[in-house]
Amino acid sequence: MLNKILPVAVSAVALVALSACGSSSAATPGASGGAAGGKAIVMGFSQVGAESGWRTANTKSVQESAKSAGVELKFSDAQQKQENQIKAIRSYIQQKVDVIAFSPVVETGWDTVLLEAKRANIPVILTDRAVDSEDKTLYKTFLGSDFIAEGKKAGDWLVKDSQGKSEVDVVELQGTTGAAPAIDRKEGFAEAIKAAPQIKVIASQTGDFTRSGGKQVMEAFLKSNPKIDVVYAHNDDMGLGAIEAIEAAGKVPGKDIKIITVDAVHDGMQALADGKINYIVECSPLLGDQLMDLAKKVVAGESVPERVVTEETAFTQEQAKAALPQRKY
Ligand code: AHR
Please, what is the angle between helix 53-69 and helix 288-299, to 10°?
A: 50
Residue 63 has pLDDT above 90, yes or no: yes
What average pLDDT score do residues 151-163 get?
Answer: 98
CB distance 140 to ligand 1 below 6 Å:
no
User: Domains of the chain: which residue ranges?
Assistant: 35-145+285-311, 147-283
Query: What CATH number was assigned to the domain covering residues 35-145+285-311?
Result: 3.40.50.2300
Residues 6+ away with beta carbon under 8 Å from 278: 161, 254, 258, 259, 260, 272, 316, 317
Measured in angstroms, how far is the CA atom of residue 37 from the centroid of ligand 1?
Answer: 37
What average pLDDT score do residues 215-224 get?
Answer: 98
Segment 270-318, tens digit of pLDDT: 999 999 999 999 999 999 999 999 999 999 999 999 999 999 999 999 9
Q: What is the pLDDT of residue 37?
A: 64
Cβ-in-10-Å burial (0-12, 13-18, 19+) of 115 comes to: middle
Q: What is the pLDDT of residue 35?
A: 63
Measured in angstroms, how far is the CA atom of residue 130 from the centroid of ligand 1?
Answer: 12
CB distance 126 to ligand 1 below 6 Å:
no
What average pLDDT score do residues 27-52 get?
Answer: 77
Residue 140 has pLDDT above 80, yes or no: yes
Q: Which residue type sits at 173?
A: L
Residue 16 has pLDDT above 90, yes or no: no
What average pLDDT score do residues 191-208 get?
Answer: 98
Measured in angstroms, how far is the CA atom of residue 237 from the centroid of ligand 1?
Answer: 9
Higher per-residue confidence, 320 vs 37: 320
Q: Kindly report the average pLDDT of the chain as a whole number.
A: 91
CB distance 235 to ligand 1 below 6 Å:
yes
Q: Which of 62, 128, 146 to mutate to test ligand 1, by most ligand atoms within 8 A of the CB atom?
A: 128
CB distance 65 to ligand 1 below 6 Å:
no
Q: What is the pLDDT of residue 119?
A: 98
Pick left, alpha or beta for residue 245 (phi over 0 → left; psi -120 to 50 → alpha; otherwise beta). alpha
Q: Judging by DSSP bridges, how do beta strands 99-102 and 72-77 pair with one another?
A: unpaired
Q: What is the pLDDT of residue 24?
A: 38
Q: What is the pLDDT of residue 132?
A: 96
Least confident of 15-24, 119-128, 177-186, 308-317: 15-24
Residue 20 has pLDDT above 50, yes or no: no
Return the half-sphere exposure (C-beta side, CA atoms, 13 A cut-off) of residue 78.
22
Please give the backbone phi and psi of residue 75, each rounded to the nearest 5 degrees, phi first: -110, 135
Helix (H) or strand (E) holding 323: helix 317-323
What average pLDDT score do residues 83-98 get?
Answer: 98
Query: What CATH number was assigned to the domain covering residues 147-283?
Result: 3.40.50.2300
Residue 210 has pLDDT above 70, yes or no: yes
Residues 6+ away with beta carbon under 8 Å from 148: 184, 185, 187, 188, 191
Q: What is the pLDDT of residue 38?
A: 73
Measured in angstroms, how far is the CA atom of residue 277 from the centroid of ligand 1?
Answer: 18
Residue 6 has pLDDT above 60, yes or no: no
Please, what is the angle between helix 82-94 and helix 111-119, to 10°?
A: 10
Segment 125-136, tens digit of pLDDT: 999 999 999 999
Least confident of 23-27, 135-139, 309-313: 23-27
What average pLDDT score do residues 238-254 get?
Answer: 98
Instruction: Tell me if domain 35-145+285-311 and domain 147-283 are identical in fold.
Output: yes
- Residue 262 CA: which ligand 1 atom is closest? 6
